[in-house]
Copies of this chain bind each other. A is one copy, B any other.
Amino acid sequence: MPDLVEARELSYGEAVNAALHRLMAELPETLVYGEDVGVPGGVFGVTRGLRKRHGDRVFDTPISESAILGSAVGAAMMGRRPIVEIMWADFSLVALDQIVNQAANVRYVSGGRLSAPMTIRTQQGNAPGACAQHSQCLEALFLHVPGLRVVMPSTPQDAYDLLVTAVHCDDPVLVVENRTLYSGPKERVRVGGPVLPLGGARIRRAGWDVTIVTWGAITQRVLEAAEALAREGIEAEVLETPWLNPFDTEAVVESARRTRRLVVVHEANVTGGFGAEVVARVAGAGVPLLAPPVRIGTPDVRMPAAQVLARALVPDSARITAEVRALVRH
């Protein structure tokens, strides 16, 4: 029951599912739809059971991303709270107009008389064997769009909590999941708790030698790197920022001021990635650093399908460890 706080052992995908069940129960104006999300329960099983429980508020759609997103804008304007799925973030590019030119404008242009309380769930990133059209990390595109909230949970608890927050938010929110996380290890997830406010960062590991800011599935690799570094005597502070809009600049600046070294790690391509924004904010805040800030991401290249090639590009914990080590020993 959504009203009772309880702890359950859930994988990331199950946590998303639990949040959707709760949201559909507590917010009668929610709708859940997208390609294969209804009867089949989603290609990753994340929307399983929703249609059975909530009937025609959950449904499958044609392969029509413009219609999915556009109808979500229209339904949201009229008081519904649609939660739509874009199966891969890459596919949003066939219909980006509806997010950027439509959803993001509704409130502002109407002077607040209309709003578009819709949630777009998608997932992104590279996975073994995935081709160039199924591997991109596109959060930076959405983060350049005023009017759109963006969140990227990486743990089961955040997958649950932040989706609940997103759907309760009265603005369009993009929730970027990652298919490599869905069937990861189960964790104790507190479900049924209060709706948390938007925003906020998480100190996943405290440290004093260097601040590593990160988000998304790569957070796990950053934490592994931090453990490896700790064994060498380097204590990294790992700051995960699942909320990218709003972004907790203060938390980052505060940590960087303490450690006086900054690394930003994301899976997205480096140039034009949101890592640039983080570095620019810290630089703009005049934080004195002991060494130039470092951005770690996928180099500026398309993603090859062969795992052996992709592995040479997507940052792993060994590369993160090495680059942070080099920075600290600088």
Kindly state whether residue A147 has any CB partner on chain B within 8 Å: yes
Question: What is the size, in residues, of chain A's interface with B at 8 Å between Cβ atoms?
Answer: 51
Q: How many protomers of this protein does the assembly include?
A: 2
- A residues with CB within 8 A of B: 66, 90-91, 93-97, 100-101, 104-105, 108-109, 131-133, 136, 138, 140-141, 143-147, 245, 268-269, 271-277, 279-280, 283-286, 291-295, 300-302, 304
* Complexed CA–CA distance, A291 and B245 (Å): 27
For this complex, 7 residue pairs linking A to B, each with C-beta atoms less than 8 Å apart, are: A94-B96, A108-B304, A109-B132, A279-B283, A280-B295, A283-B283, A283-B292
* Complexed CA–CA distance, A199 and B103 (Å): 36
Does B286 lie within 8 Å of A279, measured CB to CB?
A: no
Decide: A269 near B105, CB < 8 A? Known: A283-B292, A292-B283: no
**Which residue in chain B gives the minimum CB-CB distance to A330?**
B286
Of listed A133, A145, A147, A286, residue having the most chain B CB within 10 A: A145
**Which residue in chain B gives the minimum CB-CB distance to A262?**
B283
- Chain B residues with CB under 8 A of A95: 94
* Complexed CA–CA distance, A317 and B57 (Å): 53
Does A132 lie within 8 Å of B105, measured CB to CB?
A: yes
A41 to chain B, nearest CB (A): 27
* Complexed CA–CA distance, A131 and B101 (Å): 11
* Complexed CA–CA distance, A300 and B101 (Å): 15
- Chain B residues with CB under 8 A of A285: 292
What 10 A-B pairs are tightest by C-beta distance, nearest first?
A144-B272, A286-B292, A279-B280, A276-B280, A276-B276, A108-B302, A93-B97, A146-B300, A93-B96, A276-B277
